[in-house]
Structure formats: structure tokens, C-alpha cells
Amino acid sequence: MRLRALLSGRELSIVIALVVVVGVTAAVRPAFLNAQGLHDLFLNASVIALLAIGQALLVITRNIDLSVGSVMGLTAFLSGQLFLADVDTPVVLVVVAGMALGAACGAVNGALVAVAKVPALVVTLGTLYVFRGLDYGWASATGVRQVNADQMAPEFLAFGSGAVLGVPNLTLIALVALLVTGYALHNWRSGRELYAIGSNPEAARLAGIPAGRRVFTAFVVSGALVGLAGVLHAAYFGTINASVGTGRELAVVAAVVVGGVAIFGGSGSVRGAVLGALLLTTITSALPILGVPAFWQRAVDGAALLLAISLDRAVMLRVAARLRRERGLRRA
């Protein structure tokens, strides 16, 4: 019962799926669950989890950001460029610069959506190409095709692969982001208003909620998180070119949807989105260990997505039926 109070029905089903995937894989290969294995699982999920937190904020308001992969590429490339300019650039400065650039990209999206009233799907599809184009243009203009590990500050790389008490730094950062956004979304007035906007934009506006400003802010915050993810990607992989993050938007939207954030807004949580990211990356890690041939891995990924959504839908229908029944009983 306690668990029920802690996690919603959707989140519980993800946790069960996660336990099944990890359990089956660990039964086949116990090494999957040793210290290094767990470290790797969390490390793999961290960057995508940060993206999922930002995306969840937007999807809750009935918006979407398809440009995340491009923004991430742009900020990862920025970190590389900063190190090329001066290899002793402080790590903090690189992180702040990446988040600022991400927030600026988010502000462009947010302004087009909130002020110009263009649907987010169209705006961010456009900026997906615009930001990627800028990234390639920048690479071409400066002649920097690739930034390699030996050109970056050793502290930066150590930070990317480091850990505190066995927990990777990147995971700690993702956890902090999760706690802060989760708290704000749950307890702040402006956080609750995001749900109201997503449930019914018109009603939210009539209730006096500054919908435009809230959506704009959500885009900026999400952009800053994407910017952070780009910098962390650079620190984690140590090889950057202008195509970092290509196609990542689909994985992020999948994580958010699997995590139980309703694609039409108004419900879900960042906790669910992070669990969704963890489940999908864990499946990707588990499949090769279970010996699933490479050709099938993508299909299994997609099937997992469909299954999660179907389960989710079934739970939702049951909840709706129960609510109707209870209301009927109350009236009777």
C-alpha cells in the first residue's frame, strides 16, 4: 500500500517492467547486477533522463520539443569549441555556457510557440533543422570537424566519467534535476498551472493563468536542461562532432510517453519520465547481453514502447471506470 502511495499506477507498471528486465538479464548474466553493471546502467540513462525531464515539462503543457537532439548537438559542440579556444577553460564555465545556449534555443522555441502561437510540433520541427544547420555551419566555418578527448581538459573528462561512492556524477546531476523540477512541479503554484494549461488551455486562460508566460518559461527551463545534457554528453564520450544527438528526440519522446506523461498534456510526472528513460536504456543494454541478434533489437525496443503504452491505456481505462462507478455510488 505504501508503494502505491509513492508511485502512481503508471509508474508502478514501469518499475515492474524494469524489475522483470533486470531480473531476467541478471539471471542469465549475474555480472549485469554487479557494481560495474549497475554503474553502467545508471550512467547510460543519465543524459537521456535529463532530456526526458525537460521534455516532460513541455508535454505536460500539451507542447512538445522535437529540436532537443539539435540543441544538444549545438551545446556539445560549444563545449568542444570552448576547449579548443582555451584548454584550461574552467569546467563550471563550460557547463554554464552550455546551459545558457540551451536556454537561448529554448527561448526561441518558446517565443514562437507562446507569442506567435504556432503549434509546438511545427515550430520545433523547424528549429530541429535550423539548429542542426547552425551546428554544421559553425563546424564548417571554423574548420573544426571533430573535437577529441586529448583536446579537452582532463578535469572535464574526469568529471564526465567520475563517480561519488560508486554513483556516477552524471546520475547525481540527473537526480538533482529530477528532485528540483519534481518539487517545483508538485508544490509551486506555477508548477500546478502547467498541468492546468495542459488539461484545458482555454479554461486555464479564463481562470487567469498566464499561459503564454508559463509555456515560454517551460521551454527555457527545458532548453537549459538540454544544454546541460549536451555538455555532459561531451564530458562522457570525449568525442564531439556536429552530428551529436542526431535522432535523440525520438528516444526522448518515447521515454516520456513510456513514463506515463500523457501526450495530450495535463498529466504525468518528471519521475515517470525518468523511469521511462531508465527502462528504455536498460532494455537497450539488456538485449545484447541476452544475445538478441542486432537485427531484432530495434524491433524489441519498439515493441516495448507499444506494450508500455497499451498497459498504460488499460490501467487508465480501469481507473476511469472505477471513478465513474464511485461517482454513481455517491449519487445513488
Binding residues (CB under 8 A) for other proteins: these are 29, 31-32, 36-37, 40, 44, 47, 140, 143, 145-146, 148-150, 157, 161, 233, 236-239, 241-244, 281, 284-285, 288-289, 291, 294-295
Our CB check for other proteins shows the closer of 208 and 291 to be 291
Our CB check for other proteins shows the closer of 269 and 281 to be 281
Our CB check for other proteins shows the closer of 145 and 189 to be 145
> Min. distance of Cβ 78 from other proteins in angstroms?
17
* DSSP-assigned letters across all residues of 38-83: HHHHHHHHHHHHHHHHHHHHHHHTT---TTHHHHHHHHHHHHHHHH
Our CB check for other proteins shows the closer of 170 and 197 to be 170
CB-side neighbour CA atoms (13 Å) of 181: 31
> Min. distance of Cβ 87 from other proteins in angstroms?
12
Our CB check for other proteins shows the closer of 238 and 265 to be 238
Residue 82, CA distances (Å) to 85, 92, 160, 215, 250 in order: 5, 12, 16, 31, 29
> Min. distance of Cβ 13 from other proteins in angstroms?
24
Classify residue 69 by burial, with Cβ atoms within 10 Å: 0-12, 13-18, 19+.
Answer: buried
> Min. distance of Cβ 279 from other proteins in angstroms?
14
Q: Nearest Cα to 197, choosing from 59, 61, 58?
A: 61
Our CB check for other proteins shows the closer of 120 and 139 to be 139
> Min. distance of Cβ 24 from other proteins in angstroms?
14
> Min. distance of Cβ 237 from other proteins in angstroms?
5
Decide: helix, strand or coil at residue 241.
strand
Rounded Cα gap, residues 82 and 80, in angstroms: 5
Pairing of strands 163-164, 167-168: antiparallel
Whether 139 contacts 77, CB under 8 Å: yes
